[in-house]
Amino acid sequence: MTVSAGSTAPPGWLTDLAAAASAMRVMPVARPPASGGRKSAVLILFGDGPAGPDLLFIQRSAGLRRHAGQPAFPGGALEEDELADPDGGPVAAALREAKEEVGLDPAGVDVLAVLPEMFIARSGFRVVPVLAWWRSPVAVYPVDLGEVAAVERIAVADLADPTHRLMLRVPSGRLSPAFRIGPMLIWGFTAGLVDRLLALAGWERPWDAGVVRELPEGAA
């Protein structure tokens, strides 16, 4: 893959997005319960790619017990020492998981915002999204193929392209925004986050949300 050279400060559009995202309203379906759930974090990592701003995604391996085969942001559950740190725990967990999953160097990442906690009812995870800038990109790859099947940097322009957008009916029967980029179908929690970020940044383009597709067999 192509790796951008040099070291750059976060662009203004991203600092503006970070400020808006850190204060965004959590939709009722994603609001955490008063108690319970496993604390976790994901890394929303923006970089400067060949086609402009991009986001880092992983595709989870098909043999996993939870969210098998799904595209996602790097991340996972907080460890004991991270749970003991209510302020920095999610940031530490998001960076650690990205290092373990794709070989990310945390020293080349600038964390800009911690978003409101959200809840994934199907798996019982309380997720804190951590938004960051990839100041000094490095080559990334699946460190453990038993956990991560693929790693992709996807251009924001491709995510905002109306021809790549659709609505899916997920296992609960709820409708969810989704993105089809090449062979990767991004849906569920991750797609919901991308959808919100595109809107907050002013990148969203008109698309036909009235055409609904069923989730492909095996994608759940």
In this structure, are residues 132 and 110 in contact, taking their beta carbons and an 8 Å threshold?
Answer: yes
Give the model's pLDDT for residue 64: 58
Q: List, edge to edge, every strand of the sheet that includes 165-169.
A: 184-186, 175-181, 165-169, 212-214
Domain locations in the chain as residue ranges: 12-155
Flag whether pLDDT at 151 surpasses 50: yes
Amino acid at 124: G
Q: Mean of the per-residue pLDDT values for the chain?
A: 90
28, two tokens: 């009722």
Given the DSSP bridges, would you call strands 212-214 and 165-169 parallel, antiparallel or unpaired?
parallel
Strand partners, 103: none
- For the segment 54-104, what is each residue's pLDDT rounded down to a tens digit? 999 999 886 655 655 789 999 999 999 999 998 899 999 999 999 999 999
Q: Calculate what percentage of the chain has a pLDDT beyond 70.
A: 92
Give the model's pLDDT for residue 1: 28
Q: Tell the residue number behind the tokens 């919901």, with chain if given.
A: 192
Q: What angle do CA 164, 205, 110 make, to 5 degrees?
A: 85
**Residues near 122 by Cβ (< 8 Å), separated by ≥ 6?**
171, 172
Strand partners, 150: 59
Give the model's pLDDT for residue 152: 95
- For the segment 190-217, what is each residue's pLDDT rounded down to a tens digit? 999 999 999 999 999 999 998 899 887 6
Mean pLDDT of 123-150: 94
Of 10-19, 99-108, 173-182, minimum mean pLDDT range: 173-182
Superfamily for domain range 12-155: Nucleoside Triphosphate Pyrophosphohydrolase (3.90.79.10)
**Helical pair 188-201 and 12-22, crossing angle rounded to 10 deg:** 120
Mean pLDDT of 112-134: 95
In this structure, are residues 131 and 112 in contact, taking their beta carbons and an 8 Å threshold?
Answer: yes
Flag whether pLDDT at 168 surpasses 60: yes
CA 66 – CA 220 distance, rounded (Å): 9
Give the model's pLDDT for residue 215: 82
- For the segment 23-52, what is each residue's pLDDT rounded down to a tens digit? 999 989 899 999 999 999 999 999 999 999
Longest dimension (CA), the chain: 46
Flag whether pLDDT at 139 surpasses 90: yes
Give SS3 for 77: strand
Give SS3 for 154: strand
Distances (CA, A) of 23 to 18, 26, 125, 128, 173: 9, 9, 21, 13, 29
